[in-house]
Amino acid sequence: MLKRSETLLGLDRAECAVLVDEAGEPAYRAQQIMEGVYRQRAESVEEISTLPLPLRRKLSEQGLSIGWPVVEKKFVSQDGTVRYLIAFADGQSIETVWMPSGDGGEAGDGTEAGDSEELFAGNSVPSPSAAKAAADFGALTARLKAAPFQGNIEDRGGVNVRGEVNDQGEVNDQGEVNDQGGVNDQGEVGEQVEDDDRISPQSVRALAAGDESGAALKRGATQNQWVQYQRATICVSSQVGCAVDCQFCLTALLGVKRNLSAGEIVGQVCAVLKDQKVAPPQDRINLVFMGMGEPFLNYDNFIKAVRLLVEEVGIAESRMTVSTAGIVPRIHDFGLEAIRPKLAISLNASNDELRERLMPLNRKWNLEKLLAAARDFPLRNRERITFEYVLLREVNDSRQNAAEVVELLRGMRAKVNLIALNPGPGIDFQTPAEDRVAAFQKVLVKAGIPTFVRRPRGRDIYAACGQLKRTVEILPAEAPATT
């Protein structure tokens, strides 16, 4: 028997079937309720128009509500990132982040989303699949040169206002990619990439194949919107606060208040989708469970939320990534799940002594145990485990640290994301110099480990990795060092 105060958001199909049966309704009503909640995102039971009015009234009289969280505040960054402060019925709140062009975190992870990010990242040797996407891009520019495209692009979209390319076979700097960005005139990944508008390789493939109908693109969409549909990323929270106590993370200063329910995890995603007017599966969205909290310390609710997001909201599991600080028993459990996101592990240090200083969790599950679990993790075809490494100025960012990381990961099907510390008040570490980040990356790449530098998103509004602390008063953030 469902409680009178139960919310519909968070119910799976089996639970919804029980609700319908108890109400004496035919079984197909469960499907209507699920569609109304997760796809139509109705604000109230009364708005689920596929249900007969007497049933809507009956459910409301029983005290059932949808259970949507409330967006209390929105902070918008200069780079387009949006930080949402989302409140729940008990007065607790969390943060969720919308990144319209992603941050490169999926690059090189062996999935379609990773191929897209790798094409635009341009900071490592491309994988064959990403190189193929780049070649498709080169083929597209050649086709456009022969027959200018005049399809579904507004005057600043896709190519230029005339739908043409310049005489080097590239798109000019008013359109898609210039000679410093993304793809050069040989269709190869460029050496430098600006982190603004780029067309996804999926859209490139569709256009190169002659699909100008809007199946891959929204009719009349701008180039920026093309990117949004293919590369936008939502950073999702799993707990109010966090108990892991990483010394370089603002969220750790909050401590942990409580776990989020499956409905609260799904609800924050749906609230952002609704605000951004995005509708999976038609629009491809990436999810990263890297917001407030440690997902594997709220494992059951996290896994249920993942299933709901895949089966009901329509976001593919291959477009989801979960980050753990290293809850070793749950890494084993996670590998057995039938539906699961990709796995990212927060490494952040090259030896146990340093990791214990930065991440006290290492005292319970040290690097030997953590890496053993990672080596045993059952990877899908082409999939790689991601290791996240936050670089702290002159703490863990030396070439020696990089060499130690190489030895830790030797022989593993893995990639590394480097994150230059995003600063904040109360954090006793500093952002590393850009040349040290580049040198660290070079050591790993030379050893054959795909390594990418994640682009900071929303740093000016405390929305970047490690900055989520429900900050309301925005102070100027420290500028990263350059030397």
State the CATH number of the domain containing residue 37.
1.10.150
Whether 45 maps to a domain, the answer reads: yes
341-350 pLDDT tens trace: 999 999 999 9
53 and 79 housed in the same domain: no
* pLDDT(118) > 70: no
443-463 pLDDT tens trace: 999 999 999 998 877 667 655
Tell me which amino acid residue 124 is.
S
Q: Are 221 and 277 in contact (CB under 8 A)?
A: no
Q: Report the pLDDT averaged over residues 131-153.
A: 48
320 and 440 housed in the same domain: yes
454 and 334 housed in the same domain: yes
Burial 371-394 (b: 16+ CB within 10 A, else e): bebbeebebeeebbbbbbbbbbbe
Whether 34 maps to a domain, the answer reads: yes
How far from each other are the two terminal CA atoms of the chain, in whole angstroms? 63
43-96 pLDDT tens trace: 999 999 999 999 999 888 888 899 999 999 998 988 888 999 999 989 999 999
For 241-245, 397-401, 424-428, which range has the lowest pLDDT when averaged over its residues?
424-428
Q: Report the pLDDT averaged over residues 202-229.
A: 42
350 and 456 housed in the same domain: yes
The two tokens of residue 87 are 């409140």
pLDDT cut 90: percent of the chain above it: 52
Whether 116 maps to a domain, the answer reads: no
Whether 478 maps to a domain, the answer reads: no
* pLDDT(424) > 70: yes
Q: Report the pLDDT averaged over residues 429-444.
A: 94
* pLDDT(392) > 50: yes
288-315 pLDDT tens trace: 999 889 999 999 999 999 999 999 999 9
What was the pLDDT predicted at 110? 56
Whether 367 maps to a domain, the answer reads: yes
C-alpha distances out from residue 304 to 9, 265, 297, Å:
12, 9, 14
* pLDDT(17) > 50: yes
Higher-confidence residue: 119 or 156?
A: 119
* Structural domain of 161: 123-214
Provide the phi-psi class of 241: left if phi over 0, else alpha when psi is between -120 and 50, else beta.
left
Residues assigned a catalytic role: 95, 465
Q: Report the pLDDT averaged over residues 414-427.
A: 86
336 and 284 housed in the same domain: yes
How sure is the predictor about 212, in pLDDT bands with cuts at 50, 70 and 90? Answer: very low
Q: What is the CATH number of the domain that holds 313?
A: 3.20.20.70
How many structural domains are present in the chain? Answer: 3
Mean of per-residue pLDDT scores for the chain? 77
